[in-house]
Amino acid sequence: MFKVTIDGIETEVEPGTTILQAARKIGGEIVPPTMCYYSSLEGSGGYCRTCIVKVSAGSAKDPRPMPKPVASCRTPVQDGMVVQNITSPELLEARAGVVEFLLINHPLDCPVCDQAGECDLQNLGFAHGKEESRYDFPRRVFEKKDIGNKIQLHMTRCILCYRCVKVADQLTPGRVHGVMNRGDVAEISTYIEQAVDNDMSGNMIDVCPVGALTDKTFRFKSRVWFVNPTDAHRNCTKCSGNVVLWFHGTEIYRVSARKNEWNEVKEFICNDCRFENKKIENWVVEGPRKIERKSVISQNHYEQYNQLKAQIEKQRARLANGETPDIGDISLRT
Amino acid sequence: MARKILLVNDHIEGLANIDVYRRNGGYAAVEKALKTMTPDAVTEEVKKSGLRGRGGAGFPAGMKWSFLAKPPGVPRYLVCNADESEPGTFKDRYLMERNPHSLIEGMIVSSFALGARTSYIYIRGEYYYVLQILEKAIAEAYEVGLLGKNIMGTDFSLDLYVQPGGGAYICGEETGLIESLEGKRGNPRIKPPFPAVVGVWGCPTVVNNVETIAAVPHIVNMTGDEYAKIGIGRSTGTKLISASGHINKPGVYEIELGLPVEEFIYSDAYCGGISEGRSLKAVVAGGSSVPVLPAELILKTAAGEPRLMSYESLSDGGFATGTMLGSGGFIVYSETACMVRNLWNFSRFYHHESCGQCSPCREGTGWMEKILHNIESGHGKVTDLDLLVDICKKIEGNTICPLGDAAAWPVASHIRHFREEFEYHINNPEKVKDPRHCEKQPFVRKAQSNPA
Ligand SMILES: Cc1cc2nc3c(=O)[nH]c(=O)nc-3n(C[C@H](O)[C@H](O)[C@H](O)COP(=O)(O)O)c2cc1C
Ligand code: SF4
Ligand code: SF4
Ligand code: FES
Q: A105 to chain B: which residues are within 8 Å by CB?
A: 363, 366
The pTM (predicted TM-score) of the whole model is 0.92
For residue A319, name the pLDDT band (cuts at 50, 70, 90). Answer: confident
- At residue B263, the 3 state secondary structure works out as helix
8 Å CB contact between B69 and B165? no
Write the residue in A52, A184, A185 that is nearest to B398 by C-beta. Answer: A52
CATH number of A2-101: 3.10.20.740
Regarding beta strands A251-256 and A52-57, do their DSSP bridges make them parallel or antiparallel, or are they unpaired? unpaired
Same fold, A2-101 and A105-131+139-215: no
Say which ligand is closest to the CA of A106: 2
Q: Is the pLDDT confidence value at A195 over 70? A: yes
CATH number of B18-229: 3.40.50.11540
B161 ligand 1 Cβ < 6 A: no
Output the DSSP codes for B87-151.
TT--HHHHHHHH-HHHHHHHHHHHHHHHT-SEEEEEE-GGGHHHHHHHHHHHHHHHHTTSSBSSG
Compute how many other C-beta atoms are within 10 angstroms of the C-beta atom of residue A327.
8
For residue A131, name the pLDDT band (cuts at 50, 70, 90). Answer: confident
In testing the pocket of ligand 2, which one of A160, A176, A177 has its CB within 8 Å of the most ligand atoms?
A160
pLDDT, residue A225, reads: 86
Cα A334 from Cα B22, distance rounded (Å): 80
Q: Is the pLDDT confidence value at B413 over 90? A: yes
- At residue B209, the 3 state secondary structure works out as strand
Chain A residue closest in CA terms to B373: A137
Compute how many other C-beta atoms are within 10 angstroms of the C-beta atom of residue A84.
22
pLDDT in tens, B87-116: 999 999 999 999 999 999 999 999 999 999
Q: Which of A317, B16, A320 is nearest to A329 (CA)?
A: A317
Regarding beta strands B118-123 and B159-164, do their DSSP bridges make them parallel or antiparallel, or are they unpaired? parallel
Q: Do A69 and B397 make contact, defined as CB atoms within 8 angstroms?
A: yes
**Residue owning the nearest CA to atom 2 of ligand 1:** B173
Chain B residue closest in CA terms to A67: B397
Q: A48 to chain B: which residues are within 8 Å by CB?
A: 358-359
B401 ligand 3 Cβ < 6 A: yes
Q: What share of chain B is helix, strand, coil (3-state, %, to 5)?
A: 45, 15, 40
Regarding beta strands A9-13 and A151-153, do their DSSP bridges make them parallel or antiparallel, or are they unpaired? unpaired
Say which ligand is closest to the CA of B357: 3
Lowest mean per-residue pLDDT among A187-191, B244-248, B263-267, B422-426: A187-191
Give the Å distance between the CA of B370 and the centre of ligand 2: 25
8 Å CB contact between B241 and B309? yes
Say which ligand is closest to the CA of A47: 4
Q: Is the pLDDT confidence value at A334 over 50? A: no
Give the Å distance between the CA of B186 and the centre of ligand 2: 19
> What are the boundaries of each domain within chain A?
2-101, 105-131+139-215, 224-299, 301-334
Mean pLDDT of chain A: 91
Name which residue leads in pLDDT, A98 or A298.
A98
8 Å CB contact between A72 and A33? no
Domain at A105-131+139-215, CATH from 3.40.50.10800, 3.50.50.60, 3.30.70.20, 3.40.50.880: 3.30.70.20
8 Å CB contact between B171 and B165? yes
pLDDT, residue B452, reads: 41
Give yes or no for A328 touching B (CB within 8 A).
Answer: no
pLDDT in tens, B28-38: 999 999 999 99
Q: Is the pLDDT confidence value at B450 over 50? A: no
For residue A332, name the pLDDT band (cuts at 50, 70, 90). Answer: very low
Cα B186 from Cα B176, distance rounded (Å): 5
Compute the average pLDDT of residues B144-156. 97
Closest-CA distance of chain A to residue B350, Å: 9
8 Å CB contact between B116 and B69? no
Residue A275: left (phi > 0), alpha (psi -120 to 50), or beta?
Answer: alpha
Chain B residue closest in CA terms to A93: B394
Mean pLDDT of chain B: 95
Residues of chain B with CATH 1.20.1440.230: 339-440
Write the residue in B356, B359, B400 that is nearest to A98 by C-beta. Answer: B359
Q: Which long-range contacts (CB under 8 A, 24 or more apart) does A140-146 make?
A: A140/A105, A140/A184, A140/A185, A142/A187, A145/A189, A145/A190, A145/A193, A146/A193, A146/A195
Residues of chain B with CATH 3.40.50.11540: 18-229
Lowest mean per-residue pLDDT among A161-170, A301-310, B299-308, B407-416: A301-310
List B residues 139-198 in contact with A (Cβ-Cβ < 8 A).
Answer: 168, 170, 185, 190
CATH 3.10.20.600 is right for the domain spanning B234-334: yes
> The complex's ipTM?
0.91
In testing the pocket of ligand 1, which one of B173, B175, B187 has its CB within 8 Å of the most ligand atoms?
B173
pLDDT in tens, B337-365: 999 999 999 999 999 999 999 999 999 99
Q: What's the fold here for domain B339-440?
A: de novo design (two linked rop proteins) (1.20.1440)
Q: Do A135 and B367 make contact, defined as CB atoms within 8 angstroms?
A: yes
Say which ligand is closest to the CA of A45: 4
8 Å CB contact between A17 and A76? yes
Lowest mean per-residue pLDDT among A28-42, A90-104, A180-194, A211-225: A180-194
Please report which helix (H) or strand (E) contains residue B360, including its range: helix B359-376
pLDDT in tens, B195-238: 999 999 999 999 999 999 999 999 999 999 999 999 999 999 99
Give the Å distance between the CA of A163 and the centre of ligand 2: 6
pLDDT in tens, B151-183: 999 999 999 999 999 999 999 999 999 999 999
- At residue A187, the 3 state secondary structure works out as strand
For B56, phi then psi, to 5°, come to 150, -45
Q: A98 to chain B: which residues are within 8 Å by CB?
A: 359-360, 394, 398
For residue A294, name the pLDDT band (cuts at 50, 70, 90). Answer: low
Which residues fall within 8 angstroms of residue A56, CB to CB, at 6 or more apart? A65, A82, A83, A84, A88
Name which residue leads in pLDDT, A51 or B432.
A51
- Count interface pairs A-B at CB distance under 8 A: 88
Compute the average pLDDT of residues A134-143. 94
Which residues fall within 8 angstroms of residue B118, CB to CB, at 6 or more apart? B75, B77, B158, B159, B160, B161
